[in-house]
């Protein structure tokens, strides 16, 4: 048995699996279910995780954290962060390193600490089930996660007491779960539409290898957006009929959002559904407002058609980026709860010549794949080799302040590239190297991974001193940059592996705070 957990740390739901010989064992959570809602709440000095946190969210919206994954490894000023924050009832502020902090009971928590509570809950559920300690894990993350987001995922694991032996891309995990690495070579698309994120990847699998040919994604496209469309429509209906704006009240909004999601799920089975929320709120005159309205599939599809089309655009672009045509695709794997929506399935089926396959449980497939990878990593006789690509351009800032790509996106990793630079001014003794990840020509729109200085350069006329800079990306996507003064061999290394920019001792503080939170945690260990 592999002692390493495979974990899908999802935006909406999480799941853990472990290989027992050839077979994956998906670990039951404390309530017997195989997935854990990725929800954490603080209530009256107690910490709730999972189902219990989700259940009480309507009456405690401001202290219930969901979709924290959207904020992982992002800076507070990132426009994507601002977009995410607009849609959540809990409070977020800029943290000490410019990252996002979530405020709960007047205390600020890093996003990693919230994710650590989810990971720790799964770790304990696994240990209870297996009757032994589990220390190591492989955690899956979206293929487009940049280095900082991957590092944040690792840190979350570490805070939860897990040694993260590898971060694996979610689509790669999906292919591994299908056992595709063992069969004949095939070209596969993984279309993953979950609760908060969309991810599409083109893989070549088989013959003992999984190769990601191209990947793209949208961190802000998922089930929540579909729920929000119904929510907005409902808010409009209530305003029209009762003259009340329920969007202003966090608790009422939360109840309405839950009703919207439930209606969306029912519409995957039925053509028409009734949304009923009695005593939703009170009207201006003090009388109760009962919501009751019908929604049919056609209207729901028209409210959300553009969301599906956004995924279609990325789907087509990614196949093209892989150098393939839709006809060349031999399998399409549907992953994520939203792929149960009939319009999504039908639209995907139109795009390729093969019928999309949904024969592996879309909620468990990523965790199972992560555990397959864990077993491969810990088994010396393992034959599967993972070949991945880097999801974003890696580059440096030029003197003109522009972004210059050194390793283009979709390059196979592990990889290393060396570039020679010269000093740009007379007598220059310091070289500053700013490393970024991202796909824009404008540096400000990319993610700065770190900056470092190579000092002690011999004063000389400009251009005289040569500096070799080596950019390396390891198999799990972590970045390392080394600059060497060619003449003196003086080297400086930027190991972005530890590039979260935290002050020293900060992670240790989070680990000990996590221990305190555990003492106040309930819901993880009971239902």
Binding-site ranges for ligand AMP (CB under 6 A) = 10-13, 194-195, 223, 261, 264-265, 268, 336-338, 340-341, 363
Q: Which residues contact 270 (CB under 8 A, 6 or more apart)?
A: 297
CA–CA separation, 116 and 72 (whole Å)? 11
Q: How far is the CB of 217 from ligand AMP (least distance, A)?
A: 13
Distance of closest approach, residue 510 Cβ to ligand AMP, in angstroms: 26
In DSSP terms, 107 is beta-bridged to: 104
Nearest-approach distance from CB 68 to ligand AMP, in angstroms = 13
Q: What does 478-515 look like in DSSP terms, one character per residue? A: -EEEEEEETTT--EEEEEGGGTT-PPTTHHHHHHHHHH
Catalytic residue among 43, 54, 69, 409: 69
**Could you say which of 8, 112, 218, 225 is catalytic?**
8
Q: Is 123 a catalytic residue?
A: no
- If the CB atoms of residues 61 and 244 are measured against ligand AMP, the closer one turns out to be 61
Of all residues in the shown chain, the one whose CB is closest to ligand AMP is: 223
Instruction: CB nearer to ligand AMP: give 13 or 75.
Output: 13
Please, which residue, 334 or 397, has the CB nearer to ligand AMP? 334
Min dist CB 329 to ligand AMP, Å, is: 22
Q: Smaller CB distance to ligand AMP: residue 195 or 206?
A: 195
Q: Any idea which residue has 């570039």 for tokens?
A: 419
Q: How far apart are the first and last CA of the chain?
A: 28
Our CB check for ligand AMP shows the closer of 67 and 374 to be 67
- CA 195/CA 71 separation, integer angstroms: 14
Q: How far is the CB of 206 from ligand AMP (least distance, A)?
A: 26
| DSSP one-letter string for 380-413 | TT---EEEEE-SS-EEEE-TTSBEEEEE-TT-EE
Of 412, 354, 366, the closest CA to residue 213 belongs to 412
Active site residue 54: no
Residue 224: CB minimum distance to ligand AMP, A = 6
SS3 256: helix
Q: Is 140 or 377 the residue whose CB approaches ligand AMP more closely? A: 140
State the DSSP string of 180-247. TTTSS-EEEEEEEE-SS-EEEEEEEEETTEEEEEEEEEETT-SHHHHHHHHHHHHHHHHHHHH---GG
Q: Which of 51, 112, 113, 170 is catalytic?
A: 170
- Residue burial 14-33, b: 16+ Cβ < 10 Å; e: rest: bbbbbbeeeebbbbbbbeee
| Nearest C-alpha neighbor of 481 from the set 448, 512, 504 | 448
What is the helix (H) or strand (E) element at residue 342, kind and residue range?
A: helix 342-351
Residue 388: alpha-carbon gap to chain centroid: 17
Active site residue 8: yes
| Residue 249 falls in the annotated catalytic set | no
Q: How far is the CB of 262 from ligand AMP (least distance, A)?
A: 8
112 versus 363: smaller Cβ distance to ligand AMP: 363
User: According to the 3-state scheme, what is the secondary structure of 297-309?
Assistant: HHHHHHHHHHHHH
Strand order in the sheet with 107-110: 91-94, 100-104, 107-110
Distance in Å, CB of 268 to ligand AMP, minimum? 3
Residue of 155, 192, 218, 388 with catalytic role: 192
CA-based Rg of the chain, rounded to a whole angstrom?
24
Provide the annotated active-site residues. 8, 69, 170, 192
């Amino acid at each position: 048995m592999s002692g390493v957990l495979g974990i899908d740390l999802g935006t909406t739901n999480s799941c853990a699996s472990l290989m027992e010989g050839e077979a994956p064992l998906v670990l039951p959570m404390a309530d017997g279910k195989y997935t854990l809602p990725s929800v954490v709440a603080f209530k009256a000095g107690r910490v709730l995780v999972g189902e219990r946190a989700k259940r009480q969210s309507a009456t405690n919206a401001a202290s219930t954290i969901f979709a924290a994954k959207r904020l992982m490894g992002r800076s507070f000023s990132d426009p994507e962060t601002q977009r995410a924050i607009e849609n959540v009832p809990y409070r977020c502020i800029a943290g000490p390193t410019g990252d996002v902090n979530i405020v709960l009971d007047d205390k600020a928590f890093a996003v990693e600490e919230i994710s650590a509570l989810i990971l720790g809950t799964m770790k304990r559920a696994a240990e209870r089930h297996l009757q032994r300690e589990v220390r190591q894990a492989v955690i899956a993350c979206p293929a487009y996660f940049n280095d900082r987001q991957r590092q944040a995922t690792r840190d979350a694991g570490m805070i939860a007491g897990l040694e993260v032996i590898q971060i694996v891309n979610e689509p790669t995990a999906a292919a591994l779960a299908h056992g595709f690495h063992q069969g004949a070579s095939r070209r596969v698309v993984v279309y993953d539409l979950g609760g908060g994120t969309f991810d599409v990847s083109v893989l070549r699998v088989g013959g003992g290898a999984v190769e990601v040919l191209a990947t793209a994604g949208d961190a802000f496209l998922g089930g929540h957006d579909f729920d929000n469309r119904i929510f907005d429509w409902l808010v409009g209906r209530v305003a029209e009929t009762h003259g009340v704006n329920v969007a202003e009240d966090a608790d009422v909004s939360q109840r309405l959002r839950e009703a919207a999601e439930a209606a969306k799920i029912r519409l995957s089975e039925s053509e028409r559904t009734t949304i009923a929320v009695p005593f939703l709120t009170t009207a201006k005159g003090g009388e109760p407002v009962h919501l009751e309205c019908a929604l049919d599939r056609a209207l729901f599809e028209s409210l959300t058609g553009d969301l599906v089309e956004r995924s279609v655009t990325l789907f087509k672009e990614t196949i093209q980026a892989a150098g393939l045509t839709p006809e060349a695709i031999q399998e399409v794997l549907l992953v994520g709860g939203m792929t149960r929506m009939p319009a999504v399935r039908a639209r995907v089926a139109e795009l390729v010549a093969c019928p999309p396959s949904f024969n592996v449980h879309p909620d468990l497939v990523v965790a199972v794949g992560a555990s397959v990878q864990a077993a491969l990593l810990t088994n010396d006789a393992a034959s599967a080799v993972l070949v991945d690509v880097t999801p974003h351009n890696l580059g440096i800032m030029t003197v003109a302040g522009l972004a210059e790509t050194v390793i283009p996106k979709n390059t196979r990793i592990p990889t290393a590239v060396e570039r020679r630079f010269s000093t740009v001014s007379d007598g220059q003794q310091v070289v500053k190297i700013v490393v970024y990840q991202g796909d824009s020509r404008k540096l400000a729109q990319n993610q700065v991974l770190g900056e470092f200085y190579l000092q002690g350069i011999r004063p000389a006329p400009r251009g005289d001193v040569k500096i070799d800079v080596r950019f390396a990306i390891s198999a799990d996507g972590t970045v390392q940059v080394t600059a060497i003064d060619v003449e003196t061999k003086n080297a400086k290394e930027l190991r972005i592996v530890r590039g979260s920019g935290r002050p020293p001792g900060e992670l240790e503080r989070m680990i000990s705070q996590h221990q305190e939170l555990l003492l106040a945690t309930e819901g993880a260990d009971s239902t």
